[in-house]
Amino acid sequence: MTRLPVPATLEALETRFGLTVAARLSERTGDMAPDLSERLRFARERALARAQEVRRAEVAAAAPAPQVVSRRGGAAGLAFGGGWWFKVAAVLPMLALAAGLVVIQQWQARAEIDDAAEIDAALLSDDLPPSAYSDTGFVEFLKTPPRE
C-alpha cells in the first residue's frame, strides 16, 4: 500500500528539489557566455515574480470572506438589502447630477440669449441703419475712423 505525501512533506520535497536545481545551475554559470547568463538571469527574475504572484493569489484565496452586518429597521445597515431607504439613497445622486446638468444647460442658453440681445441692441442703437450692413461698401465704412 502506497502512502500519499502529507502537504507539509510535499512542500519540503519541492523546496529541496528547487534548491538542488538552483545549486546545479549555479555551478556552471562561471564558464557561460555573457548573453546567455543575462538571458538566464532575466528568466530567473520572471520565474520568481510569477511564483510570488501565485503565492499572493493563494493567500488571497485562503483569506476569510468579509462579513456583512445588516439590521433591518435599525440605524446600522451595511448590506444593500436594507429596504426603501437604500434605494432612495442610491437614486438620489443620479437625480442631483441630472438636475445639475439641466441647470447648467439653461444657464448657458440664457447667457447666449443675453449676448445676442446685447449685440442686437448695439446694432439698432447705432448711427448706421440695418440695411447698411448688407451694402458692399460696408467694409470701407468700417475702415474709416469714426466721426466725433
Domain match, 56 and 99 both: no
What gap in Å lies between CA 123 and CA 93, rounded to an integer? 45
Structural domain of 34: 7-62
CA-nearest of 110, 114, 138 to 126 is 138
17 within a domain of the structure (yes/no): yes
Q: Looking at residue 77, what is its pLDDT?
A: 47
* DSSP states of 73-116: TSS-B-SS-S-HHHHHHHHHHHHHHHHHHHHHHHHHHHHHHHHH
Q: Looking at residue 94, what is its pLDDT?
A: 94
Q: Looking at residue 73, what is its pLDDT?
A: 53
Q: Looking at residue 3, what is its pLDDT?
A: 66
78 within a domain of the structure (yes/no): no
Number of domains in the chain: 2
Q: Looking at residue 99, what is its pLDDT?
A: 96
94 within a domain of the structure (yes/no): yes
Q: Looking at residue 42, what is its pLDDT?
A: 82
Q: Hunting for cell 500519499 — which residue is that?
A: 4
Q: Looking at residue 113, what is its pLDDT?
A: 94
Q: Looking at residue 90, what is its pLDDT?
A: 86
* Residue numbers in the chain where pLDDT is lower than 50: 76-78
Q: Tell me, what amino acid is at 99?
A: A
